[in-house]
Amino acid sequence: MIKVDSIKDIRKLLVNEKNIAFVPTMGNLHEGHLSLVDIASSASKAVVVSIFINPTQFSSSKDLKDYPKTPDKDIKLLKKYKNLIIFMPSIEEIYPENTNKKYELPPIANELCGRTRPGHFNGVITIIDKLFSLVNPQIVIFGKKDYQQLLIVKMFTKKNYPKIKVIGGATIRDKNGLALSSRNNLYEEKQLINASNLYKELQNIVNQIKSSHNNNNSNIIDRSTRKLESLGWEIEYIEIRKASDLSEPLSKDSLLVILGAGKFKDIRLIDSIEFCIGQPN
């Protein structure tokens, strides 16, 4: 394992590598991140993990300040991987000057999480563009928990970096079903059970839709939304979309995804579940 923090050093290390698998992270690593590194390690002998809390994707300075930072723990967790390069640059290294580049993103970037977090996905693509051009990977792995992010990155990559293959890694959950997230560390332990209610209600909606013989999904979603609100949640959205591109599904579409976002104890969490109705088209 090698750790570097400068663009000069990472370029020097990767200059002769032809098959790089890359896992971009914002640190505070957990088993979900490690599952992505496992995929990368299976795909290539040269693996890069970046740890960088990207300020351009935060709309709130408080949210940025409060984001968990555990660099020593992160390095310790990654020590078991051979041939691993950890790239931990400073903000000044990545953004020597203020950046305000605007990317042409698909309409979906303004929906779902994009409705309440204006500029968020532009900030995500800003750092992805920088890291892709720097690391020059052949394979990149993102978690499916951030399903909208994964789809937007795939769309951007297909257009701008067509030689890169973007892979989605399965969401890793705790024993209560809560998707592992760096933000989970902001909760007290007794609050984690309640935080898992978002996933439980998403799963409940999916089960009801699968067993229902009508198309009145809005009533099912409304009931779960009210239940979550009664448990202390502030729900931003719960929506069902077409899994392939997050467009509004038609009656003939069978491969779907339910996505939800909300705040519990003032901490924002997101989750998603892919599912199928009937025979896939």
- Please tell me the predicted confidence (pLDDT) of residue 279: 67
Average pLDDT over residues 254-262: 97
Tell me the domain boundaries of the chain.
Answer: 2-169, 182-276
The CATH class given to the 2-169 domain equals: alpha beta
**Average pLDDT over all residues of the chain:** 95
- Please tell me the predicted confidence (pLDDT) of residue 123: 96
Whether residue 217 has pLDDT greater than 80:
yes
Write out pLDDT tens, residues 123-166: 999 999 999 999 999 999 999 999 999 999 999 999 999 999 99
Q: What is the DSSP string of 203-242?
A: HHHHHHHHH-SS--HHHHHHHHHHHHHHTTEEEEEEEEEE
- Please tell me the predicted confidence (pLDDT) of residue 59: 81
Q: What is the DSSP string of the chain?
A: -EEE-SHHHHHHHHTT-SSEEEEEE-S---HHHHHHHHHHHHH-SEEEEEE---GGG-S-HHHHHHS---HHHHHHHHTT-TTEEEE---HHHH-SS---------GGGGSTHHHHSTTHHHHHHHHHHHHHHHH--SEEEEETTSHHHHHHHHHHHHHH-TTPEEEEEPPPB-TTSPBP-GGGGGS-HHHHHHHTHHHHHHHHHHHHHHH-SS--HHHHHHHHHHHHHHTTEEEEEEEEEETTT-PPPPTT--EEEEEEEEEETTEEEEEEEEEE-SS--
Write out pLDDT tens, residues 86-109: 999 999 999 998 878 999 999 999
Average pLDDT over residues 264-273: 96
Instruction: Determine which one of 30, 33, 120, 213 is catalytic.
Output: 33
- Please tell me the predicted confidence (pLDDT) of residue 215: 59
Write out pLDDT tens, residues 171-206: 999 999 999 999 999 999 999 999 999 999 999 999
213: confidence class by pLDDT, cuts 50, 70, 90: low
What fold does the segment set 182-276 form as a domain? Pantoate--beta-alanine Ligase; Chain: A,domain 2 (3.30.1300)
> Active-site residue 33, yes or no?
yes
Whether residue 79 has pLDDT greater than 90:
yes
